[in-house]
Chain A
């Protein structure tokens, strides 16, 4: 079945450091790919998405490119801020009878120190 694997956390960086969180997936066909972010005590929010191969999703300085050849969707940011501290989830999605079935990775906790 479909699955998503993220790099293990926690990840701790200093402010203005470069961030990469790795994500690879296993799926048949070409699912849509997502990064969601969860701030402390809150639900998840969509950060960015890509719906087909070679698409680049971007938002708030974060970027991720849908790489079909490596089945990857790594999240990057050039200069992180303390406010980026959160848990990040990579996910893939399939439309199924009108619903969106999301498969999530286990999440990567990111802490940014001033």
Chain B
């Protein structure tokens, strides 16, 4: 089945530690995205990538980093510089220049202890 796989589903981290969230897609989509979801605030864009080896900051990129070495993969690192990292993180993908339909993974819930 084609889709987007995020892992881990749940992750706990101590303050001061970096953590990497995995996102893999087998939809042959060009563009990939990371969103953060907080209660009552909707989704906010962290980073996005249109093609391999290129990515752009979204609205809340501070404290996060990404890489896009392969078309299928777009991992997100939450660094210790992120002041409030506890959240639900969603990865998505889309065809290049498609009319706005994003396909989402099931999300990763990060809790900082």
Contact = CB atoms under 8 A, between A and B. Distances in A.
Interface in B79-108: 90, 92, 94, 96-107
Contacts, number: 75
A43 B100 contact: no
B2 interface: no
A49 B106 contact: no
Given A98-B51, A99-B94, A100-B31, A46 B102 contact: yes
B100 A107 contact: no
Given A43-B106, A49-B100, A98 B42 contact: no
Q: Is the interface of A mostly helix, strand, loop or mixed?
A: strand
B64 interface: no
A89 interface: yes
B48 interface: yes
A27 B70 CA distance: 34
A89 B43 contact: yes
B104 A98 contact: no
A42 B94 CA distance: 18
B50 A97 contact: yes
Contacts of A69: none
A46 B31 contact: no
A6 B75 CA distance: 31
Interface in A90-108: 91, 93, 95, 97-102, 104-107
Interface centre among A4, A89, A99, A105, by most chain B C-beta atoms within 10 angstroms, is: A99
Given A44-B92, A46-B102, 4 more contacts: A49-B100, A95-B97, A99-B50, A100-B100
